[in-house]
Structure 1
Amino acid sequence: MAYQALYRVWRPQRFADLVGQETVTQTLKNALITDQISHAYLFTGPRGTGKTSAAKILAKAVNCRYREDGEPCNKCETCQAITAGRLGDVIEIDAASNNGVDEIRDIRDKAKYAPTVADYKVYIIDEVHMLSTGAFNALLKTLEEPPAHVIFILATTEVQKVPATIISRTQRFDFKRIATETIVARMQYILKDMQITFDDAALELIANAAAGGMRDALSILDQVLSFGADHVTLANALTVTGSLSGDTLTKYLRAVNAGETGNGLTIVQTELAAGKDPNQFITNLLIFLRDLLLYRQDPHLARSFYATQDPAAFAELIKQIDDTRVYQMIDVLTDVQEQLRQTTHPDVYLDVLTVKLATLSQTVAGPAAAPAAQSAPAPEALTETIKSLEQQVAALQQAAKGGAAPAAGPAAAVKRKAPQRHTKVHVNLEEINTVLGQATRQNLANLQSIWGDLLNMLDVGQRAMLHVGTKPVAASPEAVVVSFDYPMMFERVAKDQVLREQVEADLNKLAGNPMHVYFVPKEQWPQIRKNYLLAHPVGKQKSGRPAPGDAPTSAAASPATASAAPAAAPVNPLVDKAKALFGSFVEVDNGSSKQTASSDNNQKQTDGVKTNG
């Protein structure tokens, strides 16, 4: 028989073999034991975590007449036929290559017929998110009212692309990334069964490189076995995965921390010449730096093999690099990692990275230390400075006892205005004012209702940038203004043209018409909104008020009329405009406004209009 890859040979055949997904397997087993089998299931999660394997096990279990405790027997003719893929009643479809309406209509038509051998006809549709819109629509009715003998099992790695109408008609099970310890234990079990020797550090490295996917881990293990003549060593695992050893990373970090740019560049060129992957170089550095932070808090928290391979060297490096420096290095590494995805010359970026890391301390400490190094103050100057400060303190104390504010002078210079952080990205006020001119409360409510669906349509990185501290604050039929609580996130998103285009494209799908998106920082939004209301006092003529130039009759109102004015609570057209724009977010502070006919006081009333958010 031809050779089979490890992940095929060791594919789980029972729920007990599906490691790392205990919640999913226990729920499915209980449903089989109590005979509460649903007509449709949706398995979601990262690649290589057991979705398709669980679907095949479930297909065997529902059709096995000898199952025990919810597990298929794997001995009867039905189980063996499903395992071999020759049972016609279990149909596995790849939606990536069969994503048209005709294929789904064919499934819908054939689903009406009863199974030939098994008790249930099971359709396993892998990568279901690849189906077209028409194909999803063709599947809807069948999912909602399927024949009693049909079960649909849908599997996908990108559940955000599956329509909500499909998800709501299925039982959803989320498969999580498998823990590193669980992957290592599974590989140890397999290698012991195969009677192959191994290094524990090598298995930990493979598990880290697999990033939570059991299939990826077994594929890498297969390569290491082929490379190393049936023996799994750390050196072979490093070579196959393109990872760096802990010793190399330690030397590199010591070099850049000491400002030895030449040594750092030599290490980079040596590793690249040996065939190391540039992306893996940065990933290994990030993992190493993360474990430095964790090890300082508690040695048991450091999970990678770097911390366990040479604990003494690891602990010594912690003493040389403080946490602040580690944070700065991680920031630089993250930026360069993003740039590597769009370049064909990664070696250039690694060289630039090395120079940045080596000069990081000079960049941070240089400007602050420069003045002191240029001219150290003389003892006489220090004495004069101390006397001046003592006089200022005495003046402040005297002013505090007398209850009066200190006079303007040297003492007043002690007060310093707190620095304010200003965003570097320019806000397009013209476009935002255009949105406000057409904005309504209903449009804002509509946008807020679909904002969560929009976030689910984005990928993980984009969703993370928009998930925290953002919300729509104004909307027109063709545009929306989104506020950011954190200036740093606003700057990153405002510069990301790809993210803006993706958000607008997804909004177009959800809203049914083209939508433009404009971003503003939360700290600037109240002032932008207030300035717009002051510059556009719409509704004066509608309310019957005369213009400021025609106000003599209003100014000559009788005392009785004036005294009755507070009870009448006349409507401010600016308040109406604010309510029309922002809805229930508006609060009116009547205590700061007085009824008067002058345009100046009308502006003061605007200051009493507050909006929440």
Structure 2
Amino acid sequence: MSYQALYRVWRPQSFADVVGQEHVTRTLQNALLQQKTSHAYLFSGPRGTGKTSAAKILAKAVNCEKMPISEPCNECAACLGIMDGSNQDVIEFDAASNSRVEEMRDVLDKVNFAPNSVPYKVYIIDEVHMLSISAFNALLKTLEEPPQHVIFILATTEPHKIPLTIISRCQRFDFKRITAQDIVGRMTHIATESGLQFDEKALHVIARAAEGGMRDALSLLDQAVSFSENGVTVEDALAVTGSVAQSYLNQLGQAMYEKDIPKALEALEELMRQGKDPARFVEDLILYFRDMLLYKTAPNLEESLERAMLDEEFTTLSKVILPEQIYEYIDILNKTQQEMRFSNHARIYLEVCLVKLCQMENKASVANDSSVQELFAKIDILEKEISSLKKNRPTGEEVAKSQPSKKPARSTMKYRANTRMIKEVLKEATREDLNTIKSRWGDLLDMLNSRQMRSQSALLNDAEPAAASPDAFVLKFKYEIHCQMAVENHKLIETISEFLKEMSGKEYRFVGVPEEQWSEIREEFLQTQTENGDHGEEENEDPLIAEAMKLVGADLIEIKN
């Protein structure tokens, strides 16, 4: 076949032709001029960014008859032989199809042989990450101490798969994705030199679809040339790349702003009939709103726009949509894009996304709503009236003179525990009953939590049984409010009684008391018992307490359970 693809015809033959990799080409050019080339290089980066082309240019430059130079002359016998592939001293090895150790050893066996016609024998190993572990081990020793006349250039798109022992023996250069501006500039040069008719906006569409790869961009340009009749137009580029036309994006943006769901779904239906990819459509819509946000915030940076074109519909729409709405649009679209990656029903996610975007609250319309404006006006009037009343408000002395004296309002009464019932419990209190209740108290809290009675359980977290008789017990609370709430909670009282009856066989009533009042009531009870000559059943049961009272008196003793 006489026809060759554009990316083959226009493959870079000098470092100046390698687009968007100045950080690599400048370093290599300086090393060539100073004759400080390394024995091994590692070129890594995305596809179509110039790794293999740069390797061949470097092979020509080190073997050029005009060395030292920064660019190969492409005229001497060495450069021409390397360009047409007839020079046997520049060996290209495809690791993707020759990954076994036997094939690598066959290549390395010839390393020690001197080059035939040029100063350096150059080995270009493409897709080096595809080599097996054994092949890497075979390469390792030679790569560490190669002969002086050998240079290795390794190229890969996945450097993380290469052993660190290999990487550490190479000078590594990371090729980056080429910017859309650089791709457009290179395509413009190629199309002009090739005599192609083209629309510059079409080249921008192709450059964005190439995603940073020069080879992909030239392949798409080749397709667009074949698709078009007289010249490459924007419609041709959109058809080849699968992108969405600006008119549809404007139509969808207007439908979202106007909350016109049928209009948005009709536009989507038309795009799907044209065979557009849902994932590419979402990406185009995200970039469209991204460009709208940049245009609103920095209108002078027109060259920063990636997807949108500054037509009349776009500029008009960008003036009425608020930045806050654009933030929400992009956020919803981004979430939809992530969900579509893991679904076989991408169109359904896309339709739901458009409905959601159309139903978003339009803050601009709310701000301009007449009823809202009336409400704001009424609020302003009320604020002014309140301010006027505060200024004309009489002083405290004037109010006192103008109004008759009133009796002070009764202060709210504090919660008081049932002292009589507590004393009855203390009169018949036994340590055995108290220990019985205490031993089951933790089980009671667990039971309340398991029955979804967490609020009731929270009331008892800081409470503990303080005294118990055969038919009742005193529950001491740390906080007064908790005590009052527990005593007034009839369901809680009933639950506690049922649980204790089930566990101990006795039906206990309980009386709550705050911690401060418990100390006063208990001290008063002990004092009364001392005056009556009876220290209570609980105290008489313990001989140590009785002996202590004889020694120091009951007034100086405080008994704690």
TM band (smaller chain)? 0.5 to 0.7
Aligned residue in 2 for 1:318: 318
* 1:324–1:78 CA distance, 2 compared to 1 (3 A): same
CA distance in 1, matches of 2:10, 2:293: 37
Correspondence 1:11 to 2:15? no
Deviations 1:225-270 (A, max 9, x none): 0000351111111111111122210110110222211111110110
Higher mean C-alpha displacement, 244-253 vs 67-76: 67-76
Deviations 1:364-402 (A, max 9, x none): 999xxxxx99xx99x89x979x979x99xx9xxxxxxxx
Aligned residue in 1 for 2:461: none
Secondary structure of the structure 1 residue equivalent to 2:361: helix
Shift of residue 38, structure 1, vs aligned partner: 0.5
Which consecutive unaligned segments of at least 5 residues does structure 2 have?
366-370, 394-561
Aligned residue in 2 for 1:304: 305
CA distance in 1, matches of 2:31, 2:199: 41
Aligned residue in 1 for 2:139: 139
Sequence identity, in percent? 53
CA distance in 1, matches of 2:68, 2:181: 29
Correspondence 1:336 to 2:336? yes
TM-score, scaled to structure 2: 0.63
**Contact 1:246–1:309 (CA under 8 A) maintained in structure 2:** no
Shift of residue 343, structure 1, vs aligned partner: 2.9
CA distance in 2, matches of 1:110, 1:97: 20
Shift of residue 287, structure 1, vs aligned partner: 1.1
Aligned residue in 1 for 2:52: 52
CA distance in 1, matches of 2:124, 2:96: 13
Letter in 2 for 1:157: T
CA distance in 2, matches of 1:105, 1:230: 53
Deviations 1:45-100 (A, max 9, x none): 11111111000111111112135732222222322221122322211122222223
Secondary structure of the structure 2 residue equivalent to 1:99: coil
Deviations 1:442-492 (A, max 9, x none): xxxxxxxxxxxxxxxxxxxxxxxxxxxxxxxxxxxxxxxxxxxxxxxxxxx
For 1:336-375, list aligned pairs within 5 A.
336-361=336-361
CA distance in 2, matches of 1:213, 1:182: 11
Shift of residue 307, structure 1, vs aligned partner: 4.1
For 1:78-117, list aligned pairs within 5 A.
78-117=78-117
Aligned residue in 2 for 1:283: 283
Correspondence 1:62 to 2:52? no
Correspondence 1:170 to 2:151? no
CA distance in 2, matches of 1:67, 1:356: 65
Aligned residue in 1 for 2:155: 155
CA distance in 2, matches of 1:222, 1:139: 39
Shift of residue 306, structure 1, vs aligned partner: 4.5
**Contact 2:179–2:212 (CA under 8 A) maintained in structure 1:** yes
The number of aligned residues is: 388
Letter in 2 for 1:48: G
* 1:191–1:309 CA distance, 2 compared to 1 (3 A): farther
* 1:151–1:68 CA distance, 2 compared to 1 (3 A): closer
Secondary structure of the structure 2 residue equivalent to 1:283: helix
Letter in 1 for 2:8: R
Higher mean C-alpha displacement, 296-305 vs 221-230: 296-305
**Contact 1:208–1:304 (CA under 8 A) maintained in structure 2:** no
* 1:35–1:290 CA distance, 2 compared to 1 (3 A): same
CA distance in 1, matches of 2:176, 2:3: 30
* 1:219–1:161 CA distance, 2 compared to 1 (3 A): same
* 1:67–1:224 CA distance, 2 compared to 1 (3 A): farther
**Contact 1:201–1:309 (CA under 8 A) maintained in structure 2:** no
- Deviating above 6 A after TM superposition, structure 1's stretches of 4 or more consecutive aligned residues are none
Shift of residue 132, structure 1, vs aligned partner: 2.7
CA distance in 1, matches of 2:331, 2:133: 41
Correspondence 1:259 to 2:259? yes
* 1:222–1:154 CA distance, 2 compared to 1 (3 A): same
Aligned residue in 1 for 2:398: none
CA distance in 2, matches of 1:383, 1:259: 35
TM-score, scaled to structure 1: 0.58
**Contact 2:123–2:153 (CA under 8 A) maintained in structure 1:** yes
CA distance in 1, matches of 2:56, 2:316: 50
* 1:356–1:102 CA distance, 2 compared to 1 (3 A): farther
Aligned residue in 1 for 2:224: 224
**Contact 2:61–2:69 (CA under 8 A) maintained in structure 1:** no
Letter in 2 for 1:88: Q
**Contact 1:196–1:230 (CA under 8 A) maintained in structure 2:** no
Secondary structure of the structure 1 residue equivalent to 2:41: strand
Correspondence 1:2 to 2:12? no
**Contact 2:322–2:364 (CA under 8 A) maintained in structure 1:** no
Letter in 2 for 1:330: I
**Contact 2:40–2:169 (CA under 8 A) maintained in structure 1:** yes
Aligned residue in 1 for 2:41: 41
CA distance in 1, matches of 2:382, 2:276: 60
Shift of residue 221, structure 1, vs aligned partner: 0.4
**Contact 2:291–2:306 (CA under 8 A) maintained in structure 1:** no
Letter in 1 for 2:305: S
Aligned residue in 2 for 1:292: 292
**Contact 1:45–1:156 (CA under 8 A) maintained in structure 2:** yes
Aligned-residue CA RMSD (Å): 3.2
Letter in 2 for 1:293: L
Q: Which has the larger radius of gyration?
A: 2
Letter in 2 for 1:176: K
Secondary structure of the structure 2 residue equivalent to 1:119: coil
**Contact 1:21–1:175 (CA under 8 A) maintained in structure 2:** yes
Shift of residue 156, structure 1, vs aligned partner: 1.3
Shift of residue 3, structure 1, vs aligned partner: 1.1
CA distance in 2, matches of 1:80, 1:61: 12
Higher mean C-alpha displacement, 200-209 vs 19-28: 19-28
Letter in 2 for 1:337: Q
CA distance in 2, matches of 1:134, 1:323: 57
Letter in 2 for 1:135: A
Aligned residue in 1 for 2:244: 244
For 1:507-586, list aligned pairs within 5 A.
none
Aligned residue in 2 for 1:207: 207
Letter in 1 for 2:336: V
Aligned residue in 2 for 1:270: 270
* 1:266–1:229 CA distance, 2 compared to 1 (3 A): same
CA distance in 2, matches of 1:124, 1:63: 14
CA distance in 2, matches of 1:246, 1:58: 43
**Contact 1:67–1:73 (CA under 8 A) maintained in structure 2:** no
CA distance in 2, matches of 1:341, 1:110: 48
Secondary structure of the structure 2 residue equivalent to 1:70: coil
Secondary structure of the structure 2 residue equivalent to 1:299: coil
CA distance in 2, matches of 1:350, 1:331: 14
